Amino acid sequence: MTATPATSVANLRDLGGTPLSGGRSVRPGLVLRSGQLDRLDLDADPAVAALGLRTVIDFRTDAERADHPDRVPPGTRLLVADVLADAVHSGRMPAAAQLKDLLRDPAVAEEHLGGGKAQVLFGGVYRSFVHSGSAQAAYRLLLTEAADPAAGPLLFHCTAGKDRTGWGATVVLSLLGADDETLMAEYLSVNPAVKQAFAPMIEGFTAAGGDPDIALALIGVFPSYLGAALDEVESRYGSMEKYVREGLGVPDGTVEALRARLRA
């Protein structure tokens, strides 16, 4: 998978080119991932305009979408699939994107996120990607749309394009036949783009006396985060295929259509 040059969309990556088993790879230009599209400007961003996007799936919460509404190309379908709806509405956890508000006060951040609390929190968030009803509905929609040729080039995203989006990419690539090493490498590969996008926030937090490890725990992605979701899949379902079939309710025929469409 490669980063796609873009000036108005953060962390834009094409799943195309990712190596798969048997010497195959993912077909380019069909399924892409990114951060939010609130600054999309096709006139100033010919690389994005050339993608010919036909479907966008937005994994963000109601509050995130209200604060930073997507801009989508004319004629593009915008589908909303709030991954965190169940977890946030139940009060079990804040939206991942709301956590950055804590970085405005180093003392508050230390209280709520210091001493490894941030890592524990994100582990719970990632496990919810596997078992919560809203997350299962969101990732079912992703797989269903990605398998459908009529969806055209599809882009899925959250706020930074790293957590909710990262799990979606992991599920798709796993079903296509990427090995564990490739899955982890692709998951972690967004770190430079994400850290660059949030650099002013990190610098301001540390300049005010904040612990840089707390900021990085929120802004970056780590093997333990993805590991929490993969462990949840293993403990609840035993395999990614059973998670997709039984947890997400995606028929085997849809998975086969996904593979036929996206494997080169």
DSSP state of 5: P
Q: Which residues 6+ apart lie within 8 Å of 120 measured at CB?
A: none
Q: 27-49 b/e with 16+ CB inside 10 Å = b? A: bbbbbbbbbbbbbbebeebeebe
Summarised one tens digit per residue, pLDDT across range 54-79 is 999 999 999 899 999 999 999 999 99
Condensed to tens digits (0 to 9), the pLDDT of residues 200-217 reads: 888 999 999 999 999 989
Q: Work out the pLDDT band at 93, boundaries 50, 70, 90.
A: low
Cβ contacts of residue 179 below 8 Å, gap of 6+?
21
Burial class (CB in 10 A: 0-12, 13-18, 19+), 54: middle
- Find the helix or strand (DSSP H, E) in which 176 lies: helix 164-176
Domain ranges in the chain?
2-262
Q: If you average pLDDT over residues 219-236, what whole number do you get?
A: 97
Residues 174-209: tens digit of each pLDDT: 999 999 999 999 999 999 999 888 888 889 999 999
CATH of 2-262, one of 3.40.50.2300, 3.10.150.10, 3.90.190.10, 3.90.920.20: 3.90.190.10
Q: Is the per-residue pLDDT at 7 higher than 60?
A: yes
Model pTM above 0.75: yes
Distance CA 250, CA 256 (A): 11
Strand 13-14 to 2-3 pairing? antiparallel
